[in-house]
């Protein structure tokens, strides 16, 4: 049976909304492709039963409505072309080939055979409607920062502490989990317990399924929730791969949910947005520590001040970088034997 392939370029500002719109139009699969100096290109695949004329018109009208709201669409009109069944399957699978990230993370789709190479952490992620298959620069940047941070400062429980007294120590929060890739990576890298939340039920379902595929479902709690709905929860590590505006809005929640001296990894930022996010987080007691850029997207690592008392001497990002990473005193006992 033939299929339709719709391609359209869209700016990062509207890409997420357009992606959701394409799913609502009946897309069977969707791939986001990026190249330096060009807006992302979305490729969506539809069954033959969908009218190509109606589909192109609906997407064109949606883009026009975004322009009317003064949003930067920065893309041309949608193009719909026919594909044979075999071509669709090949295009879909080719877009999700195994991907090496960092020193020892390997992301593969379920149809690939895991490598037998020693030392690699395999993350099996099913491409679907949720964001976060590992191909996006912001996801890769977060994974690189996460791996390096946990190599320096593993998150774990103190030796000899009974389970009933562990509370949230040794826990990470993944806010806006999408497919669950960051939560799964954290678990694979030794974090004992991760709470993964998203406001989209489809994303939470995808995260649960991917956690099961990776054998870490007992260590990852997936929940449909806003960050502001979490109560009596703090963690030494928070992950959030969202858009810049969301990070600014959630900065007070990051502060409330982060343990003193804890770390925060943020993704989803265009390179020129990073400085403003550093300033916004500094107002809530987070000290910038490290930055990674991938394909024009910036991912940032912060440390929360160890106490709510204003520090007598401000710490600059240069001092943070020269320290080789932060090892808060409150983590000293928790990290012992925590791998």
Identify whether residues 62 and 194 lie together within a single domain.
Answer: no
Same domain, 69 and 159: no
Which residues, 6+ apart, have CB-to-CB distance to 257 below 8 Å?
A: 173, 227, 230, 233, 234, 235, 238
pLDDT at residue 311, rounded to an integer: 39
CATH number of 17's domain? 3.30.70.120
Task: Give yes or no: residues 86 and 141 share one domain.
Answer: no
Q: Is residue 113 part of a domain?
A: no
| Structural domains in the chain (count) | 2
Residue that wins the pLDDT comparison between 116 and 237? 237
> Does residue 105 lie in a domain region?
no
Q: Are residues 214 and 330 in the same domain?
A: yes
Same-domain status, 27 and 146? no
Question: What is the crossing angle of helices 244-257 and 274-282, to 10°?
Answer: 30
Q: What is the pLDDT of residue 119?
A: 79
**Residue 239: C-alpha distances to residues 185, 268, 292 (Å):** 11, 11, 15
Position 166 scores a pLDDT of 55
User: Which residues span the domain enclosing 286?
Assistant: 132-335
Residue 185 confidence (pLDDT): 97
Give the model confidence (pLDDT) of 84-95 as tens digits.
665 655 666 676
Residues 71 and 195 in one domain: no
Q: Hey, what are 141's tokens?
A: 């940047």
Question: Is 126 a member of any domain?
Answer: no
Q: What single string gives the DSSP state of each residue in 216-269?
A: -TTTEEEEE--GGG--S--EEEEEEE--HHHHHHHHHHHHHHEEEEEEEEEEEE
314: domain CATH number is: 3.40.50.150
**CA Rg, the chain, in Å?**
21
Q: Is 138 in the same domain as 85?
A: no
pLDDT > 90: what percent of the chain?
A: 40
The answer to the question of residue 51 being in a domain is yes
Angle between helices 181-188 and 201-213 (to 10 degrees): 30
In 3-state terms, what secondary structure has residue 184?
A: helix
Whether residues 136 and 28 fall in one domain: no
């Amino acid at each position: 049976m033939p299929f339709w392939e719709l391609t359209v370029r869209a700016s990062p500002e509207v890409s997420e909304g357009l992606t959701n719109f394409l799913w609502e139009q009946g897309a069977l699969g969707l791939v986001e492709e990026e190249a330096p100096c060009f807006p992302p290109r979305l490729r969506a695949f539809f069954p033959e039963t969908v009218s190509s004329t109606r589909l192109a018109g609906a997407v064109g009208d949606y883009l026009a409505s975004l322009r009317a709201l003064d949003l930067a669409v920065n893309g041309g009109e949608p193009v719909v072309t026919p594909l044979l069944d075999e071509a669709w399957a090949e295009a879909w699978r080719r877009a999700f080939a195994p991907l090496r990230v960092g020193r020892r993370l390997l992301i593969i789709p379920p149809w690939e055979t895991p490598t037998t190479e020693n030392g690699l952490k395999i993350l099996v992620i099913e491409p679907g409607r949720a964001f976060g298959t590992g191909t996006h620069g912001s996801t890769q940047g977060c994974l690189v920062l996460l791996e390096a941070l946990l190599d320096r400062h593993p998150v774990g429980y103190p030796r000899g502490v009974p389970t009933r007294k562990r509370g949230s120590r040794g826990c990470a929060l993944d806010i806006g989990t999408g497919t669950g890739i960051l939560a799964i990576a954290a678990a694979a890298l030794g974090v004992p317990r991760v709470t993964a939340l998203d406001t989209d039920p489809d994303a939470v379902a995808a995260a649960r399924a991917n956690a099961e595929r990776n054998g870490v479902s007992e260590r990852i709690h997936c929940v449909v929730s806003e960050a502001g709905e979490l109560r009596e929860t703090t963690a030494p590590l928070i992950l959030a791969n969202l858009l810049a505006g969301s990070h600014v809005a959630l900065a007070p929640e990051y502060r409330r949910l982060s343990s003193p001296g804890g770390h925060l990894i943020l993704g989803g930022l265009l390179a020129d947005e990073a400085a403003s996010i550093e300033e916004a987080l500094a107002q809530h007691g987070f000290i910038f520590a490290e930055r990674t850029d991938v394909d024009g997207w910036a991912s940032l690592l912060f440390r929360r001040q160890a106490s709510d008392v204003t520090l007598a001497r401000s710490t600059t990002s240069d001092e943070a970088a020269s320290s080789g990473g932060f090892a808060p005193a409150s983590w000293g006992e928790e990290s012992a034997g925590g791998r």
